[in-house]
A and B are shown apart, each in its own frame.
Chain A
Amino acid sequence: MDRQDIETRRADNQVWNGAEDYGVRSDFHAFDPEGGADLYFNTVIGLVHHYYDFRRFKPLFNTFQSQLGGELYTDLFWLGLEGAVYRRAREDRPVLDALRREYAARTVARGRNQAVRESLDNLRCAWFQRALGQPGPEDDWERGVLDALTFPPGLNEEQLKDRMEALLHRYFRRSRRSVTDRQWAAWAGRDMLYGDKKRGGLVRGNALRRLGQSGGGPAEEGGRKFFWQKKHLFHLGQGRTREQVLRDYVENCFGVSMLPLGELAAAEQALCTGSHKNCLLHFTRGVLPQGEVDGETAWERAAFQAQREKNRAYFRENLVRNRLIIAQLSQRLQNTILLQSDVTDSRARAGRLQPRLAWRAPALRDQRVFLQRQQSELGELSVDILLDASASQNQQQEKLSTQAYLIAESLTRCQIPVRVTSFCSVSGCTVLRILRDYNESGNNDAIFDYVSAGWNRDGLALRAMGWLMDRSPCDHRLFILLSDANPNDDQKIPAAGHFPKDYSGKAGVQDTADEAALLRRRGMAPVCVFTGRDADLAAAHKIYGRDLTRIPSIGWFADTVGKLIQGRIQNMG
């Protein structure tokens, strides 16, 4: 989160402090000139929600939005509400006196602009001079506005609005609202069809599904949602594009290779064998190459960027829930790690007598002839999270990136090194993008750079992850996969003397299951958080066996994932 996000969140909390209701979603926040959330005014905003039915004020604020001078009217109305709610709440919350004085002093210190008449800043200054009990010089107009803005106690929402409209009419020559205007304003504040729920979005286009087509671009999104399934990517059949063209394309879209050429060649030689013969690999950290790119690639990059912003926005929208999940999951994991850490015996002056050491007491005056149990640290543990980033995840990219973030952040809080990688495949090249590496504990935000595109050759991805994890220096390695267990690649499985088989359906599942079994034998059993459809659940079980979990709803996330990871950590002991 950047500073603006943090301060906005803080402002929300200040509003909730006043409202005493965490369901309030305020359209208004107050910030000081340095951008910090303002404690007094945000508390006031919350108090307005607490003491009044804020929905009744909304139509008036909505009207202001569409008017010249609306910003001034809005701020002025807030000044009036500040006064009204202060007088109403000061009994219940005596601290308001001190907070108001501090706020007033800061506002007054900014001074008046003598050159400008009838300005909001001057009105605000004069308003808070009154609050300090030191009224400054006020001309007749200012005095009239401020007097009218000092709403008498006991007014309800409608009366406050009427007073405000009368004030604006008299001092700002704003015409009173017509019936139609009022109706529009009331309507504009409502989400008539959807209530509080978000409107379902249109099917989002997916960048790489359009590869190989002329044109591309947002205008073509609608009709292309199943384009990738028609295997139009590069029109390969079983043939291959020229390797360099493909590699250049992949670099431009996903980032330059993180491996030197020699090392990559060695990796491909070791990994692209058997069912994955003729495939390529690309390991990247997402650093894009410098220089100009063609229009189509530029458009793909822009589409990726837009998705990344959506991922972050989705997380922020559900920030409260997400923070709670992180806290719950961290607690669970800390507990497991604590209980799983080894116990060693050491010599002590009290404990269980060790006959073999007893002679030392009389002979050497060494009283440490007892054994005591002591806790030692769990051997070093690293966790890898692999995200299926194929186009089949297109509809849930925000959800998937958030889930990965929740796990990674919880593990980070337990000081467990975690690496998050996504994979997809493009025309036979399986791309593994490291979003966040073991040592980047402050970089979990990069997980939201996850975007889905292209195909998924799960078997090769598992094999490549095994190769990457072999390089981890930790004693114990935990491998979590967020996947729909639906392998599907346009690069077929070669078969000597036979027609090549599609890498999908039973063949794809079998290949992935074989690779998962291999990893299990090597002590890197993949644990799958299933993100797919019911129909693919059987395939998921075939691949991952018991190391599989499904999240019924996000509320179960911490519990379910916690248990899954706990089980794996406990097996390490």
Chain B
Amino acid sequence: MDIWKELKQEGVDSGLLEEVRAFRDAHPAPPEAAGRVPRPRFLYYGKEVWEGAAAALLCGEHLLLAGPKATGKNVLAENLAAAFGRPAWDVSMYVNVDAAALIGADTLQDGQVAFREGPVCQCARLGGFGVLDEVNMAKNEALAVLHATLDFRRVIDVPGYQRIPLDPAARFIGTMNYGYAGTRELNEALVSRFVVLDMPVISQENLQKLLRQGFPELKTTWVEQFSALFQDLRQKCDSGEISTKALDLRGLLSALHLMEKGISSGQALELGIINKAFDPFERQLVADAVWSRIPRDADRGRLFGV
């Protein structure tokens, strides 16, 4: 995918794109981390969100992408790292994450106690984009260690070692799904260190674009039907009939990959979407929604082909 071409087609402000290019040229990725610069397969569709995010990063801000499931938070984070040419570190946050897991910890090397860098340290030193995925899964105590990193001080102070200043190109992007199981309120001190982008639910039009881009051979009829199916599932979630487990854009894309490889639609959709609901009744409701849009026995020839 040529991200510049796609962004231009999306109508993202050309001045802004020029600035991103300039940033990229001014901060080439260090050779030891060049392999970490992502090559995204999907573009995040949403001109306003793209422009807001890019402008914030250019201004040196860290980003917090907040939105419900399947709004493309990680796709956008990956796209931004690719556009800015930054190596990316994905840090999955969970309740057990502590300062050591983020910054690093002592370990023994040749009989000597040495500091082993954590992902945040590496990212800061090498000027990467650190994606703090599901940032509100971690405890506030663990995140407090990032306060000095994320604010104007832009340093990591590891007790017993030197202060590590943030590379000028380093940025952190948090993602969060407010109210998700296992999440909690972020404290104000942390939130104030981010600019917050409220991620909108993907529109039918943008989802169709996404499907067309990811699966150029998927027939138009089925692009419409798969995007309508996703809309149906979202509506069912919003109405409280099912949980959000089956509202899984990644799962839908995985199912399409499987169909592209020749797995029948029935089996692929079970693997990618239906079986995500573990409650038998909920699974039945999801299955009914799926089969009222997509035939169970459609093969690759029926779905794909220009």
Q: Which residues of A contact B (CB under 8 A)?
A: 6, 9-10, 13-14, 16-18, 20, 22, 37, 39, 43, 93-95, 98-99, 320-321, 323-324, 327-328, 330-331, 334-335, 338-339, 341, 349-353, 358, 361-362, 367, 369-370, 372-375
Q: Is the CB of A10 within 8 A of B288?
A: yes
15 contacts between A and B (CB under 8 A): A13-B285, A16-B235, A18-B292, A39-B292, A93-B292, A98-B296, A331-B181, A339-B95, A349-B107, A350-B100, A352-B105, A353-B106, A370-B105, A373-B100, A375-B96
Query: Shortest beta-carbon distance, A538 to chain B, in Å?
Result: 32
Q: Is the CB of B292 within 8 A of A327?
A: no
Complex-state Cα separation, A323 to B108, whole angstroms = 53
Q: Is the CB of A17 within 8 A of B106?
A: no
> Beyond A93-B225, A349-B108, A350-B100: 8 further Cβ-contacts under 8 Å?
A39-B292, A93-B293, A94-B295, A95-B294, A95-B295, A338-B182, A350-B116, A352-B106
Q: Is the CB of A335 within 8 A of B182?
A: yes
In the bound complex, residues from chain A placing their C-beta under 8 Å from that of B288 are: 10, 13-14, 17, 37, 39
Q: Is the CB of B95 within 8 A of A338?
A: yes
- Stretch among B36-44, B57-65, B162-170, B239-247 lining the A interface: B239-247
Given known A323-B240, A335-B183, contact A13–B289 (CB-CB < 8 A): yes
Complex-state Cα separation, A328 to B281, whole angstroms = 18
Complex-state Cα separation, A20 to B239, whole angstroms = 11
In the bound complex, residues from chain B placing their C-beta under 8 Å from that of A13 are: 236, 241, 285, 288-289
From B182, B183, B225, B241, residue with most partner A Cβ within 10 Å = B241
The residue that B182 contacts in the complex, of A324, A334, A370, with Cβ under 8 A, is: A334
Within 8 A of A (CB), among B253-301: 281, 284-285, 288-289, 291-297
Whether, in the assembled complex, B86 has its beta carbon less than 8 Å from a beta carbon of chain A, the answer is no
Query: Shortest beta-carbon distance, A487 to chain B, in Å?
Result: 37
In the bound complex, residues from chain A placing their C-beta under 8 Å from that of B105 are: 350-352, 370, 372
In the bound complex, residues from chain A placing their C-beta under 8 Å from that of B95 are: 338-339, 341, 375
Complex-state Cα separation, A9 to B241, whole angstroms = 9
Which B-chain residue is minimally distant from A18 (CB atoms)? B292
Given known A324-B240, A334-B182, contact A99–B106 (CB-CB < 8 A): no
In the bound complex, residues from chain B placing their C-beta under 8 Å from that of A361 are: 108, 111
Given known A13-B288, A16-B239, A20-B235, contact A372–B183 (CB-CB < 8 A): no
Query: Scoring B residues 86 to 112 as 1 if CB is less than 8 Å from chain A, else 0, what string do you get?
Result: 000000000110101000011110010
Whether, in the assembled complex, B184 has its beta carbon less than 8 Å from a beta carbon of chain A, the answer is yes
In the bound complex, residues from chain A placing their C-beta under 8 Å from that of B241 are: 13, 16, 22, 320, 323
Q: Is the CB of B225 within 8 A of A321?
A: no
The residue that A99 contacts in the complex, of B232, B239, B281, B291, with Cβ under 8 A, is: B291
The residue that A320 contacts in the complex, of B179, B240, B243, B284, with Cβ under 8 A, is: B240
Q: Which residues of B contact A (CB under 8 A)?
A: 95-96, 98, 100, 105-108, 111, 113, 116, 139, 179-184, 221, 225, 232, 235-236, 239-241, 243, 281, 284-285, 288-289, 291-297
In the bound complex, residues from chain B placing their C-beta under 8 Å from that of A98 are: 295-297
Complex-state Cα separation, A352 to B285, whole angstroms = 49
Complex-state Cα separation, A111 to B209, whole angstroms = 47
Q: Is the CB of A10 within 8 A of B284?
A: yes
In the bound complex, residues from chain A placing their C-beta under 8 Å from that of B291 are: 39, 95, 99
Q: Is the CB of B113 within 8 A of A353?
A: yes
Q: Is the CB of A95 within 8 A of B225?
A: yes
Complex-state Cα separation, A94 to B181, whole angstroms = 36
The residue that A351 contacts in the complex, of B100, B281, B296, with Cβ under 8 A, is: B100
Query: Shortest beta-carbon distance, B239 to chain A, in Å?
Result: 4
The 5 A-B residue pairs with the shortest CB-CB distance, nearest first, are A324-B240, A22-B239, A350-B107, A98-B295, A331-B181
Which B-chain residue is minimally distant from A340 (CB atoms)? B95
In the bound complex, residues from chain A placing their C-beta under 8 Å from that of B289 are: 13, 17
In the bound complex, residues from chain B placing their C-beta under 8 Å from that of A6 are: 281
Given known A334-B181, A334-B182, A335-B184, contact A352–B100 (CB-CB < 8 A): yes
Q: Is the CB of A95 within 8 A of B293?
A: yes
In the bound complex, residues from chain A placing their C-beta under 8 Å from that of B98 are: 373
Complex-state Cα separation, A60 to B231, whole angstroms = 34
Interface SS of A by simple majority: helix
Query: Shortest beta-carbon distance, B291 to chain A, in Å?
Result: 6
Which B-chain residue is minimally distant from A566 (CB atoms)? B184
In the bound complex, residues from chain A placing their C-beta under 8 Å from that of B100 are: 350-352, 372-373
Which B-chain residue is minimally distant from A367 (CB atoms)? B108
Given known A14-B292, A95-B293, A353-B113, contact A327–B107 (CB-CB < 8 A): no
Which B-chain residue is minimally distant from A334 (CB atoms)? B181
Which B-chain residue is minimally distant from A358 (CB atoms)? B113
Complex-state Cα separation, A375 to B138, whole angstroms = 12
Q: Is the CB of A320 within 8 A of B281?
A: no
In the bound complex, residues from chain B placing their C-beta under 8 Å from that of A353 are: 106, 113
Which A-chain residue is minimally distant from B233 (CB atoms)? A17
Query: Shortest beta-carbon distance, A205 to chain B, in Å?
Result: 34
The residue that A331 contacts in the complex, of B116, B139, B179, with Cβ under 8 A, is: B179
Complex-state Cα separation, A330 to B239, whole angstroms = 17
Complex-state Cα separation, A93 to B295, whole angstroms = 10
In the bound complex, residues from chain B placing their C-beta under 8 Å from that of A372 are: 100, 105
Q: Is the CB of A370 within 8 A of B106?
A: yes
Complex-state Cα separation, A320 to B241, whole angstroms = 6
Complex-state Cα separation, A235 to B100, whole angstroms = 73
Complex-state Cα separation, A415 to B62, whole angstroms = 39
Query: Shortest beta-carbon distance, B266 to chain A, in Å?
Result: 11
Complex-state Cα separation, A474 to B107, whole angstroms = 40
Query: Shortest beta-carbon distance, A230 to chain B, in Å?
Result: 44
Query: Shortest beta-carbon distance, A1 to chain B, in Å?
Result: 9
From B108, B221, B289, residue with most partner A Cβ within 10 Å = B108
Complex-state Cα separation, A370 to B98, whole angstroms = 15
Query: Shortest beta-carbon distance, B299 to chain A, in Å?
Result: 13
Complex-state Cα separation, A339 to B142, whole angstroms = 12
In the bound complex, residues from chain A placing their C-beta under 8 Å from that of B240 are: 320-321, 323-324, 327
In the bound complex, residues from chain A placing their C-beta under 8 Å from that of B295 are: 94-95, 98-99
Complex-state Cα separation, A353 to B107, whole angstroms = 8
Q: Is the CB of A20 within 8 A of B292?
A: no
Query: Shortest beta-carbon distance, A489 to chain B, in Å?
Result: 40
Which B-chain residue is minimally distant from A46 (CB atoms)? B292
Query: Shortest beta-carbon distance, A202 to chain B, in Å?
Result: 31
Query: Shortest beta-carbon distance, B101 to chain A, in Å?
Result: 9
Complex-state Cα separation, A334 to B225, whole angstroms = 35
Complex-state Cα separation, A369 to B180, whole angstroms = 37
Complex-state Cα separation, A248 to B97, whole angstroms = 60
In the bound complex, residues from chain B placing their C-beta under 8 Å from that of A95 are: 225, 291-295
Q: Is the CB of A17 within 8 A of B292?
A: yes
In the bound complex, residues from chain A placing their C-beta under 8 Å from that of B232 are: 17, 20
In the bound complex, residues from chain B placing their C-beta under 8 Å from that of A341 are: 95
In the bound complex, residues from chain A placing their C-beta under 8 Å from that of B179 are: 328, 331
Q: Is the CB of A350 within 8 A of B106?
A: yes
Q: Is the CB of B281 within 8 A of A373?
A: no
In the bound complex, residues from chain A placing their C-beta under 8 Å from that of B296 are: 98
From B139, B281, B292, residue with most partner A Cβ within 10 Å = B292
Which A-chain residue is minimally distant from B159 (CB atoms)? A352
Which A-chain residue is minimally distant from B282 (CB atoms)? A323
Query: Shortest beta-carbon distance, A368 to chain B, in Å?
Result: 10
The residue that A327 contacts in the complex, of B113, B221, B243, B297, with Cβ under 8 A, is: B243
Complex-state Cα separation, A18 to B98, whole angstroms = 48
Complex-state Cα separation, A330 to B116, whole angstroms = 39
Query: Shortest beta-carbon distance, B276 to chain A, in Å?
Result: 15
Q: Is the CB of B294 within 8 A of A374?
A: no
